[in-house]
Amino acid sequence: MREETRFVLLWGVALSAGVVAVATTSRFGLNLVAFGLLHTVLATSWCWLRAAGLFSLGHAAFFGVGALTQAWLVTGGRTSPWVALGASAAAGALAALPLLPALRLRPASFGLATLSYAVLLKGLAGGVLAFGMEGFLLPATPEFNGAAPPLVATLAVLAIASTLGYELFLRRPAGRAAAAIRQSPETTSSLGIDLVGERWLPMTLSAAVTAVAGALYAHLTGSVETAVVFSPSLSILPLVLGMLGGALHPLGGLLGTLVLYPFDELLLRPALPQAHSMAYGLALVALLMFRPQGLLRARIPRIPPSAAFPRGVPHAPFALDVQSLTVRRNGVAVLKGVTFSVEPGEILRVLGSNGAGKTSLLLAIAGRLPAERGAIFFGRTPAPRGAAARARIGLARTFQAPRPFPDWTVRENVAVAAERAGNLDAVDGLLSDLQLTALKDRPAGHLSVGEGKRLELARVLAFRPSVLLLDEPLAGLSPEAAERVSGLIEGIRRTGVAVVWVEHGPDPGKLASQLLVLEGGRIRFRGSTREWEAARQAPAS
Partner 1 sequence: MLLQAVASGVALGLIYAGIGAGLSLVLSTGRLTNLAHGEFVLVGGYILFVLCHGLGWPWPAALAVAALGGALLGSVLPPLVRRLPRREVDGLAFTLGVAFILQNLLLLGATATYRVIPGGYWLETVALGPVHFSRVTLVAALGAGTALIGLDAWLRVSWTGSGLRAVSQSRPAAASLGISPDRMERVAFLAGGATAAAAGGLVLLTRFLTPGEGSAWTLVALAVAFLGGRPSAVALMTAGVALGVAESLATVLAGGAWREVVASGAVLLWLFVRGRTLLADA
H-run or E-run covering 378: strand 373-378
Cβ neighbours of residue 143 closer than 8 Å, sequence gap 6 or more = 81, 150, 151
CB under 8 A: which stretch of 111-119, 175-183, 314-322, 526-534 binds partner 1? 111-119
Do residues 115 and 123 touch, judged by C-beta distance below 8 A?
A: no
Which part of the chain contacts partner 1 (CB under 8 A), choosing from 102-110, 298-306, 441-449, 517-525? 102-110
Cβ within 8 Å of residue 90, ≥6 positions away: 208
User: Could you say which of 8, 20, 25, 106 contacts partner 1 (CB under 8 A)?
Assistant: 106
Smallest distance from partner 1 to CB 107, Å: 5
- Shortest CB 336 distance to partner 1, Å: 19
**468 neighbors 456 (Cβ within 8 angstroms):** no
Largest CA distance in the chain: 98
Find the helix packing angle between 149-171 and 195-221, rounded to 10°.
170
Part of the chain binding partner 1 (CB under 8 A), chosen from 10-18, 114-122, 138-146, 514-522? 114-122
For position 111 contacting partner 1 by CB under 8 A, the verdict is yes
Query: In this chain, which stretch among 19-27, 236-244, 433-441, 523-531 interacts with partner 1, using CB under 8 A?
Result: 236-244
Q: What is the number of helices (H) and of strands (E) in the chain?
A: 20, 12
Half-sphere exposure of 43 toward its Cβ, with a 13 Å CA cutoff?
Answer: 31
Any contact of residue 107 with partner 1 (CB under 8 A)? yes
In the chain, the N- to C-terminal Cα span, in Å, equals 76
Check residue 475 and report its DSSP letter. Answer: T
Cβ–Cβ under 8 Å, residues 335 and 326: yes
Contact call for residues 374 and 521 (beta carbons, < 8 A): no
Q: How far is CA 216 from the centre of its chain?
A: 29
Q: Between β-strands 522-527 and 320-329, what pairing exists: parallel, antiparallel or unpaired?
A: unpaired
Task: Reduce the secondary structure of 134-164 to three states and give it as a string.
Answer: CCEECCCCCCCCCCCHHHHHHHHHHHHHHHH
Which of 112, 161, 196, 482 contacts partner 1 by CB under 8 A?
A: 112
Binders of partner 1 among residues 190 to 229 (CB under 8 A) are none
Segment 123-182, which members bind partner 1 (CB under 8 A)?
123-124, 126-128, 130
Q: Using the rule CB under 8 A, which residue among 122, 199, 454, 464 binds partner 1?
A: 122
Residue 185 in contact with partner 1, rule: CB under 8 A: yes
- Between 120 and 298, CB nearer to partner 1: 120
Residue in 272, 308, 375, 449 binding partner 1, rule: CB under 8 A: 272
| Site stretch for partner 1 (CB under 8 A), options 165-173, 210-218, 235-243, 412-420 | 235-243
Tell me if 275 contacts partner 1 by CB under 8 A.
yes
- Please, which residue, 171 or 368, has the CB nearer to partner 1? 368
Sequence letter at residue 322:
V
What track of x and - describes contact with partner 1 for positions 279 through 308 (by CB under 8 A)?
A: -xxxxxx--xx--x----------------
Nearer to partner 1, 88 or 187 (CB): 187
Please state the closest distance from residue 480 (CB atom) to partner 1, in A: 28
Q: Applying CB under 8 A, which residues contact partner 1?
A: 55, 57, 101-102, 104-109, 111-113, 115-117, 119-120, 122-124, 126-128, 130, 185-186, 232, 236, 239-240, 243, 272, 274-275, 277-278, 280-285, 288-289, 292, 329, 359, 363, 368-369, 399-400, 403
